[in-house]
Structure 1
Amino acid sequence: MRLPHRLFRPLPLVLGIGLLAPMAAALASPAGDALQRLQGETWVTRSFTLADLGITRTVLLTGFEAKQEFYLPVPRNVAIADAGIDFRGRYYKPEESRTSMSLAINGRPSYATRVEAAEGDASQTLKVDVRTIVDGFLRLGVNWVNNSPERICAYERPSGNVLAVEPDTRFTYRFTSGALTQLADAWVALPARPTMIVAGKRLSKGAYDSAWRIGLAMEQAGRQINVRAFPGVGDSIDTQGWQIPPALAALPAFSGLAAGEARHQIRDAAEVGALMVLGSGAATGDLLVMDAPLRQQMNAALDALAAQMGGDADAARALSDWRGRQTALAADGMPSHMVRLATLGARPVIVLAEDAGAQAAGAFADAWRNVLSGRNAIIDKADQAEATSRTVIHPTQWGGTNPNFDVLAKGDWTVTMPLAALSADGRLPTDIAVDLAVSPSAGRSAPVATIYWNDTLLGARRLNADGHPERIDARVPSYVLALNNVLRVAIQRQPYYDGCNEAPQPYPVQVLRTTALRTGDARPDGTFVGLLPLMAHQPQVAVPEAYLADAVATLPRVVRIAAAAGVSPVRAEFVVQGQGAFNPARPFLALQVPVDGADTRVSVKDGHLRINGKQSPWLDVGGLAQASAIEVASSHGQYGLVYQVLGTQPALGKPFVLNRGDLAVLGDEGPVAWSDGSVAANSDTPPESSGFLAEWRRHLSWGVPVIAFALLLLLLLFVLAHRLKRRHDKNK
């Protein structure tokens, strides 16, 4: 059969394409192929411990049955993979009992074992079913049970068997870089120690202002910032562990990086561009403060790299394509107050405009963060929501654990409240009223409710337990306040056994929404705690001009001291002090800046740290290698904090809070000595306007004169009546 002639017409075209295909393949260079492969998505791994979440001490589980849940944050709208928990713990079993340990993830049992030995390692590696993660948290539950062979049902005696959960328990997960599509998720997915890239060692006032504010916001969220300058010619970088594609290693910009040296000194701008293309941590980070100098440096580095590829058209096209995908360098730039979720070297990065620090710090707070549901946001205003009442705040508005719970022997309700929210209007918590409804039980013993504030007992009382609301009033002393305040209401009741004939049953308890905090005007009393609400309101933060010239070294110091003092990253005013003394107009934090009219007790002179008393120095020490001091001072009617340094700047490696006294000496690990020279701080007794005796004093203050006047009037009436009677009798 003869085929139609029209079937042969496409044959020359097909043959031509077949001949051109090898030629096109020959035109594709190895460097171009390598650059194309660098444009795909990459896996991003996140790993953090309980210590990174603020649980820095070992958690001990004791008793016959102890439970503890740990909440591990994950991004809400990101598909994560390969999630796992490396549980670290150790048990001690000096008493004979049927002891068991079980671990659960999001309420589902993941591991259980019986404990037989007297002491041993309880560590386990758990896989996480990511389908069970809801509401942006993963719950790790630990259950420790000791069943004693002794028949004791009238009371629960203490048990010496202990399970210790270590703070190095680690949670790890990963996700693809393209899975992050929202700023809110990008903030939650930041590592425990994020890296912030700035233009260089010297910054403008605007860039420095944004950098310390967003760094402070991360510090208050439990993350410690690492500041790094964008690399330049002459900088030395760590190249250990790098894997550079062989096709790129032949190019001049990549050859030096692939030499296998432990450290490499950057020779030209093209090598900086190569670092960006490779996604090196030296040139990319988790956050960028994008000012004009940083943008110019990045573009210049990529231009220099493109110039070296002029002889390889395919590699030049691949680099141009890669560059077009870098949304951190978008052609439209960064408008004022903009925050953007961008890509730099296949890594997700949060980019801030030079003037967006205060707005971003407010928007990424817990109250507003979920509003940032896109990749870009122009934030003109983001501040802490003000309470509807200046005198009453309801702790239940911050959520906390379930307010409805059953209690067999012990149970509690906890909520965490940031000080910035409690003192947003310059007031301070003074009293608390906890409202409870407790159902009756079969036992005759009345349950006891106890109020704790940051593990300090504020008050307790026996409850009627009749199902009706009951109130517990307690005073909140200033010394219990911290940057993050944990309110815990504990209920303890005696289980009913009926002579071991009945199994004890739990009974319901509810913490009512009418539970309230009463606040009062903050009055500086010369202590760190007395200044906390003022620092959280609208303080001034003053630094010398030298800080801007050494931004990489000074930014972590400003962030750490501001966090310790409770400074608001949103409302604070940033002041760069030139020549002369700083004259504060509001409550202030002055870092290595002379304060006009301040009567400070700490002086740094001739290599000595001197703390002056009223008549003679309290301390005069020389030869200290790394030390600094911070104290409460006043200037022209304004209270504030003055920070001074002796010798080399201390590292201040760990977060801390200024919550004791009015003077602290700081070392590398934080405060090493405290002093309290304030009489008001040493006396935190209830004010005269409160208490049982105060009520009597108020009544007696006006009651005694009234009673005396009434008695005098009665006496006069009696005398007058007696005289009238005598006159009447005489007339008769």
Structure 2
Amino acid sequence: MNTFSNRKQCLTLLKQVVLVAPFAAPLFAMASPGSDAIRTLAQDDWVQRSVSLADMGITNPVVLQESDNHQSFFLPVPKGVALDAASINIQGDFIKGEEAAAALRLSVDSRPLHAQRITEREGDLARVLPVEARRHESGFVDFTVDWSSPSGQTLCEPTRQSSNILTLSPDTALTYRYSMQGLHTLADAWSTLPGKPVILIAAGKLEQQSFDSAWRLGVALERNAKRAQVRAFPSVGETVAVDGLKIPTALTSVAPFSALAGKTQHKVANAAELGALLVLDASATRADLAIADTALVGQINAALDALQDQLKNDEDAVKAVQEWRSRHASAAQKVPGSQQIQLVSLGHQAVIAVAADAGAKAAGVFDSHWRNVLVSSEATISQAGESGDASQREMRVSALGGSTTAFDVVTRGEWTAVFPLSAVAVQGRMPGELVLDVAAAPGASSTLPVASVLWNGILLNAKQLSADGQPERLTARVPGYALGVTNNLQVRFQRQPVSPNCAEIPQGYPVNVLPTSYLRSSDAEPDGTFVGLLPLLAGNAQVIVPKTALDNPAANLRQIIRLASAASVSPVNAELTLADSSQVFKPTKPFLSLDVPVDGAKPLIDVKDLQRLRAGGDEKRLLDLTGPQPLSAASVVDSNNQHGVIWYALGDQVLTPRAPFVFNQGNAVVLGEEGPLTWVDSSNPQLSQSMGLSETPFHQWRKYLAWVLPLFAASLLVLLVLGVLARRQKKKQGL
């Protein structure tokens, strides 16, 4: 009986197993290590960001060497997004030459987080300060360094330079992350852009409309103190970097992910590997902005479709990829409509997608004057021009970021406004005259305070103030050579402290840069120099590039963006013209020509046969050089009654200067990888004579003789006619 009963139980159990087996198969599929790993990647929506002092334009070390130093840095962060895992990685060092100890205090958002008494003779400043995980409605994290040293035995002694010196490196950086789900507006997305944002374009030959939008978007970034990078979506057969990939262990044995494991570089074998690169958020597919034309959207979808097809034997892995696509590839869900910009996702990045025809208007709406109105994730732009009224020539200095509140000065104080050139170069005009209204309260000393005005470290004007609390005016011309991509306007106040016999501690008295201060723009005055040409190029200009630039768009776009930014070309108003570089072109507007010869142009520096760098005229050749590469040259020229800049490359390699610069000196320049190498100014009498540009001592008077001689000739002709008429009249009277 027991044997029969056991057999019956076994048969019943076997039936249950057979009946349940079809339902158990999906459960085993759900347990696929590959699908679990892909789902983990899909659920990770953190976006990593870092902003360093160098990204903000502070490229030189910050040296604190006074006896009492207080230095604040305002590091930009998105306003409406909560930061997570945020910290400031401080890099620098100190040297202590004084006998007494120095004091160091580090604060974040006005909260002291580190205080230390420094007794060592030298040391490293490397420290990590936590930043509170919250929203920063101001749009900044305030990082402050206080470095002080004993200055004397008596309190009334003025501050002085100390041999205790602290140096802060430009590599000091704020790192943080935020949830992609917490980013809802285009304005916030723009504020999260890194110092070197990447514009993604389609692989292969680019359509002219997409090419046009890409360079405009890049120049808009450059005008906002960003260093634009252009990257084409990778294609099959291309070699990409994979050394930074974090491949989950479960995927290292799953094709096509397995082909990417354990390498520093990889040659893409098929479209499925491109899909794997997207899922793993490889640097080759990472972007911050994208020209989302039909070609790019199609290439992204083709890569992800190929990945799904290769994983078709693992149904749950396919579902995991689909889940990943819905969360991390919204950029490929549809092509943006005409004149539309969208906030989308691609990999582990929030991406600003720009329609192929929206480049000019996107550049206008992302101007500092308008971008804060982009409080949605999508916008269609019917019209967006540059800010400012064409008839309005004055701009309040307070609009450039300077404070209008008073501050106390004991011995020395500085008022500062930092702004990009694009903020003051609008409507075809450039900064011309600076008018500053300042006021200073009386001090204890009979020596009157001095106010000095500096633009990018160049002294424009200085004045001893009456110091009676009433407004006083300083006026200064803004020379073209003082302009930069990023401009620093300073008003420096200096007082003479007084404390007879150290009977009292010197006190500060208020000074103020008043809100009535303004910057007046000036019209273009073409005089054969870069500076005279910049206002024309900032207006309705023509950018002329070879038609072949569409074949290798990424490299050529980087070059166009950097040169157009250097020439202050407007990304909103300029016109892109594709020309045959083997034919002479006749421009119809002020122009920037890149490797396209223009009719009648005689550049001071040119390139012959892509190999020879030449300077001077044919009769008096100053330089004829073969060998150094890669170099390029730009010169001011005239063509078809239009003024412009022509640029030629030396060598086959497309050269893009790393550092931003402005054409603000002379009328010709030789460029290298680091930027301008040498400027040529033909108005220099010695140089112009050696180059055959002047043959008489009257060369410097050519501007005036150009209109004085015709006027003199006309006056002489009038006098002769009057003389003849008078003589005839006398003859008639004599008869």
TM beyond 0.5: yes
Deviations along 1:374-396, one digit per CA (max 9) or x if unpaired, are: 21111232232114853332211
Secondary structure at 1:632's aligned position in 2? strand
2:519 to 493, 517, 520: 517
Alignment check: 8 A CA contact 1:201 1:552 kept: no
* Aligned mates of 2:159, 2:179 — CA distance in 1: 51
Alignment check: 8 A CA contact 1:215 1:559 kept: yes
- Alignment match, 1:623: 627
- Alignment match, 2:651: 647
1:658 to 659, 663, 666: 663
Q: How does 1:322-721 map to 2 (within 5 A)?
A: 322-326=324-328, 328-329=330-331, 331-387=333-389, 390-401=392-403, 403-578=405-580, 580-605=583-608, 607-613=611-617, 615-649=619-653, 650-678=655-683
Amino acid paired to 2:679: W
- Alignment match, 1:81: 84
Deviations along 1:571-621, one digit per CA (max 9) or x if unpaired, are: 211111125222212211111111112122223225321101485112111
Alignment check: 8 A CA contact 1:601 1:612 kept: yes
Deviations along 1:179-213, one digit per CA (max 9) or x if unpaired, are: 22221121221233233221113211111111112
Alignment check: 8 A CA contact 1:213 1:357 kept: yes
Q: Return the offset for 1:132.
A: 8.2
Percent identity among equivalent residues? 42
Deviations along 1:255-309, one digit per CA (max 9) or x if unpaired, are: 4234x34333222222222222333332342222111222222222223233334
Change (3 A) 1:513 1:241: closer
- Alignment match, 1:224: 227
Alignment check: 8 A CA contact 1:539 1:586 kept: yes
Bigger mean CA offset, 126-135 vs 368-377? 126-135
- Alignment match, 2:717: none
Q: Return the offset for 1:77.
A: 0.9
Secondary structure at 1:598's aligned position in 2? coil
- Alignment match, 1:170: 173
Alignment check: 8 A CA contact 2:206 2:553 kept: yes
Deviations along 1:15-55, one digit per CA (max 9) or x if unpaired, are: 99999975652353514444333321332221232112111
Q: Return the offset for 1:679.
A: 6.0
Secondary structure at 2:296's aligned position in 1? helix
Secondary structure at 1:499's aligned position in 2? helix
Deviations along 1:64-114, one digit per CA (max 9) or x if unpaired, are: 222221111111111111211122222334344553222222222222223
* Aligned mates of 1:392, 1:425 — CA distance in 2: 12
- Alignment match, 1:720: none
Q: Return the offset for 1:144.
A: 2.3
Deviations along 1:415-447, one digit per CA (max 9) or x if unpaired, are: 134433423132333322211222222322211
Alignment check: 8 A CA contact 2:245 2:280 kept: no
Secondary structure at 2:94's aligned position in 1? strand
* Aligned mates of 1:279, 1:388 — CA distance in 2: 45
* Aligned mates of 1:401, 1:234 — CA distance in 2: 55
Change (3 A) 1:100 1:291: same
Q: Return the offset for 1:342.
A: 0.9
* Aligned mates of 2:18, 2:153 — CA distance in 1: 92
* Aligned mates of 1:213, 1:411 — CA distance in 2: 40
Change (3 A) 1:408 1:342: same
1:315 aligns with 2:317: yes
* Aligned mates of 2:383, 2:152 — CA distance in 1: 63
- Alignment match, 1:183: 186
- Alignment match, 2:10: none
* Aligned mates of 1:87, 1:169 — CA distance in 2: 5
Q: How does 1:229-240 map to 2 (within 5 A)?
A: 229-240=232-243
* Aligned mates of 2:487, 2:348 — CA distance in 1: 39
* Aligned mates of 2:700, 2:128 — CA distance in 1: 48
- Alignment match, 1:708: none
Q: Return the offset for 1:336.
A: 0.9
Secondary structure at 2:635's aligned position in 1? strand
Deviations along 1:476-517, one digit per CA (max 9) or x if unpaired, are: 233222333322111111223232111222112221111122
1:300 aligns with 2:302: yes
Q: Return the offset for 1:231.
A: 2.0
Amino acid paired to 2:668: L
Provide structure 1 residue ranges, at least 5 long, that are not aligned to the other structure: 1-14, 689-732
* Aligned mates of 2:93, 2:700 — CA distance in 1: 41
- Alignment match, 2:12: none
* Aligned mates of 2:247, 2:215 — CA distance in 1: 35
Secondary structure at 1:355's aligned position in 2? coil
Secondary structure at 2:625's aligned position in 1? strand
Amino acid paired to 1:645: A
* Aligned mates of 2:424, 2:102 — CA distance in 1: 43
* Aligned mates of 1:345, 1:420 — CA distance in 2: 32
Amino acid paired to 1:440: P
Amino acid paired to 1:408: V
* Aligned mates of 2:574, 2:557 — CA distance in 1: 16
Amino acid paired to 2:84: A
2:69 to 51, 66, 73: 66
- Alignment match, 2:257: 254
Alignment check: 8 A CA contact 1:273 1:301 kept: yes
* Aligned mates of 1:196, 1:29 — CA distance in 2: 39
Change (3 A) 1:52 1:420: closer
* Aligned mates of 1:272, 1:251 — CA distance in 2: 15
1:48 aligns with 2:54: no
Secondary structure at 2:276's aligned position in 1? helix
Change (3 A) 1:323 1:129: closer
Alignment check: 8 A CA contact 1:481 1:529 kept: no
Q: How does 1:270-285 map to 2 (within 5 A)?
A: 270-285=272-287
Change (3 A) 1:614 1:514: farther
Amino acid paired to 1:77: G
- Alignment match, 1:9: none
* Aligned mates of 1:157, 1:65 — CA distance in 2: 8
Q: Return the offset for 1:541.
A: 1.0
Q: Return the offset for 1:248.
A: 4.4
CA RMSD of aligned residues (A): 2.9
Deviations along 1:507-538, one digit per CA (max 9) or x if unpaired, are: 12221111122333220122222222222222
* Aligned mates of 1:458, 1:576 — CA distance in 2: 42
- Alignment match, 1:140: 143
Bigger mean CA offset, 516-525 vs 388-397? 388-397
